[in-house]
Structure 1
Amino acid sequence: MPPTSPPYPGSAGRPDWSALPARLRGALADRLGAPVVAARTAPAGFTRGFAAVLTTADGGRAFVKAATAGQPQLVTWYAREAAILDRLPPGLPVPRLRWTLDEADWYALCLDAVDGRPPRLPWVPAELSAALTGYADLAAALAGPPAGLVALDLPHLADLAREDILWWGEVHAGREPLPALPARVRHRLPELVALESRLPGYAAAAAGLIHGDLRPDNVLIDADGRAWFCDWTWLCRGPAWFDLVTLLLGGYADGLDADAIFTGHPVAAGAPPDALDVTLAALAGYFLTTAAAAPATASAQLPAHQRWSGEQALGWLARRQGWT
């Protein structure tokens, strides 16, 4: 049986503050305006980049991410996130970008530190409600993309699906190995291919922007119970109900009535009747097929996360389809 909670806490393999080059630490302290006296490394996430809340001698706090030139993919991701954060509409529950820095062959970005923590899993009702309400407001704000974000030439989920998300067709054609599947779904490849193949068409009809990686560990709940949304590297054009599925996937195994929550959420209004099934099929194929191909920039826990997510998506879909 798969675990009933995703492997989020402690999933990252990040360097500590003391492991950063002295020149970089000095440059960061200079930009922060005071010496760094404490650093709390972020335990979650699936990259090996530096990420920590830094506290300075004058009582200031900031969240800093950094990657070395030896991690070029991470540098690109962090630079993309900085560009996106700089252009998001003001007033959203998103940590504010303060500045970026190139020093000692490292690239760093500094954000406001949110005084919060990831939501507890299984979901606590109040925290789930905060995340769902916050995402409804966020999606509404991004339904009409601001000009600054449009200028970034962001990718479209429809294209990302064709290029990287849809894998059941490759498996069915024999171009990819069949991942380990429960007996009840081993003969369902034709149905899985048919379902996932609808995602590009559904996504192409969307004009708004979505987070693109809305897992529970990319949400923080602050002291007032408000949800904040972090890690904006994968912003893209697409339907907001896709984000909603990935958010709910983290709590599905814990008995969450995810079907009813999805159907009743504002971003699902007007979605195709089978949008949830199409998304679950696509996610199941993506996660299960790519679990064995984690990039060098990823933490050692990424394959377990991919397998867990794929199993949850496939189990949720199988229940909805009545596959026994």
Structure 2
Amino acid sequence: MTPTSPPPVPYHATARRPEWATLPAALRTAIGDRLGAPVVEARVAGAGFTRGFAAVLRTAAGGRAFVKAAATAEQPRLVDWYAREAAILDRLPAGLPAPRPRWTLHEAGWFALCLDAVDGHTPRLPWDPAELTATLTGYADIAAALAGAPSGLRELGLPHLADLAHDDILWWGEVAAGREPAPPLPAPLRDRLPELVALESRLPAYAAGATGLIHGDLRLDNVLIDGAGRAWFCDWTWLCQGPPWFDLVTLLLTAYADGLDADALFARHPASAGAPPDALDASLAALSGYFLTTAASTPGTASPHLPAHQRWSGEQSLDWLARRQGWT
């Protein structure tokens, strides 16, 4: 397989976040109080696509924690997302490679979520083979643990991927109906809209039968590799009911972009067991339309690097699909 282009900005450097010193003094004091000592160092996270505060904090007593925070008036959606993530993390099965929550607080018009700090780094591209193996192995453990949809998580009333697909992911049908402008497409693919619509339309039915839970936003920048080489999975806001092979597709987009045999990686991963024969194609069709279309309407509250990354992700999805379908 021939490598394609790298992402426009490295995933570990996509964020645009406030510095610790710019947070309200009352919030900084309250966070230090909850941590048991004043904060003396803040290492702001470089990965991610929101403008919320996120940093590993070190206290005068030597303690460490990861804290996210957002202003309730200016960033209400982020506040909702952080609160939802706190509830999800609190109910995840013990032992999973996911940060554990400590506390939340409201102070000075801000909401803060504190998690155990993971001493790790975002995987770099091109993928290091050991880090890719660790990530795929770690996700296999997560998929197995969530296959039965633990009761504590079910009580949160999580959405279903089949419904999310209808409401937010399937865009080629909107383009075909003239309700959404067509994104730029390579010349060989401009006449493939009927096939794209047909493929993406299969995703809801394929997802509808899933009884387990999936991460819902499994990208490289939501993974950390610790000093022992273990993969940890972060940002659990979008946990939903769905098939684990969908998470696997979103994760493997970067492997495809590296020129790796993403088809084989998908086929031999435990998360793809029992997937319909064209589940990968249906997912790629849906993801390509979603990323390419939404890249044109990114909210101002997001990182300025988000549109370019959405376009790049859409291009990788479409290129992977076109190769599998013989369209190029």
Residue identity matched to 2:61: D
CA deviation vs aligned residue, 1:264-285 (integer Å, no higher than 9, x gap): 0001011000000000000000
Distance 1:26 1:43 in 2: 24
Deviation of 1:312 after TM superposition, in Å, equals 0.3
Which residue of 2 is the match for residue 21 of structure 1? 24
Which residue of 2 is the match for residue 289 of structure 1? 293
Q: Does 1:90 align with 2:94?
A: yes
Which residue of 2 is the match for residue 110 of structure 1? 114
Residue identity matched to 2:325: Q
Q: Does 1:36 align with 2:39?
A: yes
Deviation of 1:5 after TM superposition, in Å, equals 3.1
TM-score scaled by length of structure 1: 0.98
Question: Does structure 2 conserve the Cα–Cα contact (< 8 Å) formed by 1:6 and 1:309?
Answer: no
Alignment of 1:147-296 (within 5 A): 147-296=151-300
Deviation of 1:6 after TM superposition, in Å, equals 5.5
Gaps of 5+ in 2: none
Counting aligned pairs with the same residue, the percent is 76
Which residue of 2 is the match for residue 52 of structure 1? 55
Residue identity matched to 1:86: D
Aligned residue-pair number: 324
Question: 1:299 pairs with 281, 303, 319, which one?
Answer: 303
CA deviation vs aligned residue, 1:76-106 (integer Å, no higher than 9, x gap): 0110000100111111000000000110110
Distance 1:271 1:23 in 2: 51
Distance 2:189 2:136 in 1: 31
Residue identity matched to 2:182: L
Distance 2:200 2:314 in 1: 14
Distance 1:128 1:6, change over 3 A: farther
Which residue of 1 is the match for residue 103 of structure 2? 99
CA deviation vs aligned residue, 1:104-123 (integer Å, no higher than 9, x gap): 11000000000110112111
Q: Give RMSD over aligned pairs.
A: 1.0
Distance 1:33 1:6 in 2: 41
TM-score scaled by length of structure 2: 0.97
Distance 1:94 1:261 in 2: 23
Question: Does structure 2 conserve the Cα–Cα contact (< 8 Å) formed by 1:211 and 1:232?
Answer: yes
| SS of residue matched to 2:297 | coil
Residue identity matched to 1:165: I
| SS of residue matched to 2:46 | coil
Residue identity matched to 2:178: G
The 4+ residue runs of structure 1 with deviation greater than 3 A are none
Distance 2:320 2:236 in 1: 27
Distance 1:127 1:10 in 2: 19
| SS of residue matched to 2:323 | helix
Deviation of 1:11 after TM superposition, in Å, equals 1.0
Distance 1:272 1:92, change over 3 A: same
Gaps of 5+ in 1: none
Distance 1:231 1:6 in 2: 22
